[in-house]
Structure 1
Amino acid sequence: MLELFSKLITKAVKQVASDIYFRPQAQEIMVGFLTPNGYVTQPSLRLEIGQALIRFLKYEAHLDLAENRRPQAGQWTYTYQVHHLHLRISTVGDFMLAETMVIRIIYPLVQIAGPLQHNTAVQIFGKRMRHSTGLWVIGGAMGAGKSTSLAYLIQHFLADQVVLSIEDPVEITQPAVLQLQVNDQADMTYAQLFKLSLRHHPQVIVIGEIRDAQTAAQVVEAALCGHLILTTIHALGLNEIVQRFLNLGVDIGDLNQVLTGLAFQVRQRQNFEFSYQFLKKKT
């Protein structure tokens, strides 16, 4: 099974795929890649081969091999050539108890930062952020590359500062950053880790994604205390980012005090667009 997966992951990496899909059919397992050019169908696997491959991957991700109905999520660090690929593996059974699997491929930042390095707007945004406080937010649709942009900005513009991040899960490993991973079963929620982060007195706090009202409120409160806060949020446009916070119950007055920089990015096929807006004068 390892040889079969090695061939599959090699094809996926060559196409810069972000996800590998395994979808069961009556007599086969459908395979597909989500690439910058869209969804690309791959040759199907015979049912018994595909099921064996799914079991192999579940084993490597430390998932329950006996469970093929309830959702499970795990991870596996796979060595590809000289790089380590972090694979996030998710499984769930459909209504007929046929198990599906999706593998998210997390590439090393050095492999995927090219469009960011050569984007003038990203460079302007990062240089301004470096000497600022308050709340800085990157918005975009799912799969737009918000986490990649966040990691790039941290590495290239905040390398000399004490940075603590809270992520669910950690996607791109950054040795210079204290990265905390949410684990609800261990009572390591966003809320609990956020309280802990303030005791560590970082210069910069990174919240991987704003998903609920509690996290949004805590982020704004920390920014009101003078911290530099970086985060991402799902939004449909630059002008919709503020509305997303209001929908989560954040007070408009508090939001206006802390919002310093907004960015919105779009990644469609090979195109990457990054727009920004500064809401405070440069100090």
Structure 2
Amino acid sequence: MNLFPHPDNLKILGKHFCLEYQALLFSDEQQNPYIALTKKENYAIVQEILKHHFQSIPTLHLITQKTFYRYAKFLNFQEMQQKIQHNIQELFHFILQQAINFEASDIHLESFMDKGYLRFRIHGDLEIVSYFSNEIFKTLCSKIKLESKLDITNTQQSKDSRYSATFHQITYDFRIAYIPLYQGELLTIRIFYKNKDNLSLQDLHITSKHLNLICHALKNPYGIFLVTGPTGSGKTTTLYAILEYLKKENKKIITLEDPPEYKMHFASQVKISSENGFDFQDALKAILRHDPDIIMVGEIRDKTTLNLAFRAALTGHLVLATLHSNDCISTLQRIRNMGLDKQEILSSLLLIISQRLYKKPCPYCKNLPQKGCQKCSMQGILGREIATEVLLFDKNVKRAIRNETLEDYLENIDFEDLQANLNYKIQQGEIIELDYE
């Protein structure tokens, strides 16, 4: 049975009551109410409140403290939302600021049934933050589209735009994507934490075996590095950590991004703008006339960009790029399907890093018998940790690719793939295998 936070928790119970008695109202997909409690003995006092709001007392549903605090951490948000929701400008900026406070990667505003939903993606998971009436939701979406210069008159096509805002003297960039739904609309806002401190390769917590392979390949003055994985797997962060490792005053670094996610000293950062006709292909052609030593391509999306990137590597540049694929083997298959032959790949490709992000145990309570503390909202989770797979293109790997025997070769040398690296980090207590309940 799927249960969701009830939209009238604060109206019926109130924030202080919810926290004191660890009580929350939930509803199922048929809008049937349930009262969720961590302690059965609190049911009697909750019944006294509920009998004034429901014809029959909602069914009792016992939950763990972890589940309670997963939803209760948004009560302060909901309380403030009620106070400011008719000031749409203030509400919009409040949502952005709170998403940043929760270290969310994305904000989802979507209309389902008879209301608008607000969800944040935190540590890789989408969490329901709050609800809006249809009137407030539509007004909020229109305000966001206006602020980000999206065309509010055309509601039948998907659109993308950019927005910037400053909180506590730090400027953040946001990518706003809009798409019409069958009954409503969907706005998704990606947050770019470009002011984070520049990470080193060591800060990424890549295991020493894989880190040594990466550093060995970075001794090459030219060639191409590919960092692969799904959306939100930290590929750009890894690229910037590599750039920090390579950065020297006698090297010219140019990055191509849509938009730049981090600020970096001694790097010329080019903002790609497909809307204005300045895409990765155009930018890559243009920057080759600016005498770069190192080129970073935010994402290879098509055959033309792939060919240009490999051509740049062949002509004496070190090229770093990301690509969407599942692992090192599928990356090779994908770039061959995009039109590169074996010889083109082997002449330029230095290394493939495939990566994922997994939930990381909270450092403040991971060694305690009871997982969960105030720092992690009783979840036992705080942040995410990387797991990697690294394929170095040495002479043996190249020979195996020429002979179409790469998978057999990797099995014989005990290649540490993504799953093996993940299992090792779980054993070391660096990644959570399952949620604690």
Give the TM-score normalised by structure 2: 0.59
Aligned to 2:26: none
Residues 248-276 of structure 1: per-residue CA shift (max 9 Å, x gap): 11011110111112111111333321332
Distance 2:93 2:277 in 1: 36
Match of 2:134 among 47, 57, 69: 47
Structure 1 residue 195: Cα displacement: 1.4
Structure 1 residue 87: Cα displacement: 0.8
Q: Which shows bigger deviation, 128-137 or 45-54?
A: 128-137
Residues 40-78 of structure 1: per-residue CA shift (max 9 Å, x gap): 011111111111211221122111222222112111111
Structure 1 residue 187: Cα displacement: 3.4
The question of 1:273 aligning with 2:409 is answered no
Change (3 A) 1:38 1:111: farther
Structure 1 residue 26: Cα displacement: 3.9
Aligned to 2:190: 104
SS of the residue corresponding to residue 110 of structure 1 reads coil
Distance 1:102 1:113 in 2: 27
SS of the residue corresponding to residue 157 of structure 2 reads coil
Structure 1 residue 110: Cα displacement: 2.0
Match of 2:107 among 20, 40, 45: 20
> 5 Å matches for 1:236-251?
236-251=326-341
Structure 1 residue 175: Cα displacement: 4.8
Aligned to 1:78: 165
SS of the residue corresponding to residue 21 of structure 1 reads strand
Contact 1:141/1:266 (8 A) holds in 2: yes
Aligned to 2:240: 151
SS of the residue corresponding to residue 169 of structure 1 reads coil
Match of 2:311 among 221, 225, 228: 221
> 5 Å matches for 1:33-72?
33-72=120-159
Aligned to 1:260: 350
Letter in 1 for 2:277: D
Q: Which shows bigger deviation, 197-206 or 117-126?
A: 117-126
Letter in 2 for 1:219: A
Match of 1:189 among 268, 279, 293: 279
Q: Gaps spanning 5+ residues in structure 2: where?
A: 1-87, 360-383, 396-437
Aligned to 1:210: 300
Distance 1:146 1:16 in 2: 17
Aligned to 2:430: none
Structure 1 residue 22: Cα displacement: 0.7
Distance 2:244 2:196 in 1: 11
Residues 81-138 of structure 1: per-residue CA shift (max 9 Å, x gap): 2321111111121234x22101001113526849961514475466445432201110
Letter in 1 for 2:177: S
Distance 1:176 1:2 in 2: 37
Distance 1:150 1:118 in 2: 11
Letter in 2 for 1:279: F
Change (3 A) 1:64 1:235: same
Letter in 2 for 1:147: T
Contact 2:228/2:325 (8 A) holds in 1: yes
Match of 1:117 among 190, 199, 203: 203
Q: Gaps spanning 5+ residues in structure 1: where?
A: none
Q: Which shows bigger deviation, 175-184 or 224-233?
A: 175-184
Aligned to 1:179: 269
SS of the residue corresponding to residue 210 of structure 1 reads coil
Contact 1:127/1:157 (8 A) holds in 2: no
Greater Rg over alpha carbons, structure:
2
Change (3 A) 1:185 1:118: closer
* Aligned CA-pair RMSD: 2.4
Change (3 A) 1:228 1:59: same
Q: Which shows bigger deviation, 6-15 or 145-154?
A: 6-15
The number of residues matched between the two structures is 280
Distance 2:92 2:146 in 1: 13
More strand by share: 1
Contact 1:18/1:104 (8 A) holds in 2: yes
Distance 1:149 1:15 in 2: 22
SS of the residue corresponding to residue 191 of structure 1 reads helix
Q: Which shows bigger deviation, 194-203 or 106-115?
A: 106-115
Contact 1:109/1:151 (8 A) holds in 2: no
SS of the residue corresponding to residue 322 of structure 2 reads strand
Contact 2:297/2:322 (8 A) holds in 1: yes
Percent identity of the aligned residues? 23
SS of the residue corresponding to residue 152 of structure 2 reads coil
Letter in 2 for 1:82: Q
Distance 1:68 1:112 in 2: 40
Change (3 A) 1:127 1:191: same
Distance 2:204 2:350 in 1: 24
Aligned to 1:131: 219
Contact 2:327/2:389 (8 A) holds in 1: no
Letter in 1 for 2:134: L
Contact 1:164/1:205 (8 A) holds in 2: yes
